Structure 1
């Protein structure tokens, strides 16, 4: 199967995604712009004296052969089904806290080693902190492309605020209520 045929299958599958308002494959210029915006966001949080934020998911997505930018309505399935959107780690990489979806919140509500600081973010009690804490935006599972022939190593990520705005502007959907998301995957070699 040619790369063009694989990408056509991916696009066809993604157009079925609930809440999709826009979709664009990321070319080299778009990718450079996205990477610049993400670097800017990481630098700005540090310069503002805020807790450092590392968007591991974004950089892993950018390491794949192909990236797809999506713009979605707030009622899309992605956030509700995700498990890992935000983690709080220390300088040693130890997990101090994390965002949890409603199902995990229900499972964790009786645990004594968990402290809810909101309905969807917990801190783990008793963690010995090493070094400065920082936030990590990890890879987000994207199961909607599973089974598409010709692709592998599927991942996705939530971009930073500046990159989100950049994506929405590039796709002509500059409405603040919308959100963007990035998908990355490798093409299977024949």
Structure 2
């Protein structure tokens, strides 16, 4: 019986060490991504605070259009491990769309990074451009009620190609946090919110099937 307990203890210790090594490997990849500055490993308390901040952010009216739904952050917080990291202007954002406007089950708009396409959209009378957000059918705004029939501003989960080849890592999710979470995370990292500095959350699971 004692031998069995010792073996279980040894196994758990070995798994712990392996997980710590995987976390270190992921952190090393993150810090070498172009435009990344500071990293921070979230604990359970941090996760719960971000979760509550995102709930409050979802209830707020975003861009005067409707409520939010940060599906990306919600997905990240389900992962085994969650990192926050700050970025500067050299960071390459994930390929869009990074914001999707939903009305019921219908996609009615999203962000565009192509200035030429944005100019084309601005020239269309039936489309509305707000900053780099395009609403493809303005008729959806007629009679819309922000409380009972709102637009939903969805921030979808994104992939992170830099981590696809890291050993024993799976279900990698990248997400952009809301402003309250952004400020909270920067505070945890001791930053003063300098202009041009953003934050991302990155989560992943341990893949025991890969050796």
TM-score by length of 1: 0.83
Q: Do 1:108 and 1:114's aligned partners in 2 also have CA atoms closer than 8 Å? A: no
Shift of 1:101: 2.6
Asked if the contact 1:6–1:149 (Cα under 8 Å) also holds between the matched residues in 2, the reply is yes
> What's 2:33 paired with?
17
Deviation at 1:172, TM superposition (A): 0.8
Question: Which is higher, the Rg of structure 1 or of structure 2?
Answer: 2
Contact kept in structure 2, 1:87 and 1:98, CA below 8 Å: yes
Relative distance call for 1:137 and 1:188 in structure 2 (3 A) is same
Larger RCO, structure (CA 8 Å, separation 6 or more) = 1
Partner of 2:3: none
> Could you tell me whether the CA contact under 8 Å between 1:6 and 1:151 is conserved in 2?
yes
Measured after TM superposition, the shift of residue 35 of structure 1 is: 1.1
Q: Does 2:111 match 1:82?
A: no
The TM-score with structure 2 as length reference comes to 0.75
Structure 1's 114 and 11: CA in aligned 2 closer, same or farther, altered over 3 A? farther
Query: What do you get for the CA RMSD once the two structures are aligned?
Result: 2.9
3-state secondary structure, aligned to 2:61: helix
> Structure 1: 5+ residue runs without aligned partners?
none
> Does 1:169 find its partner at 2:187?
yes
Give the counterpart of 2:58 among 42, 58, 63.
42
Unaligned runs of 5+ in 2: 1-14
Corresponding residue pairs, total: 184
Q: Residue in 2 aligned with 1:96?
A: 108
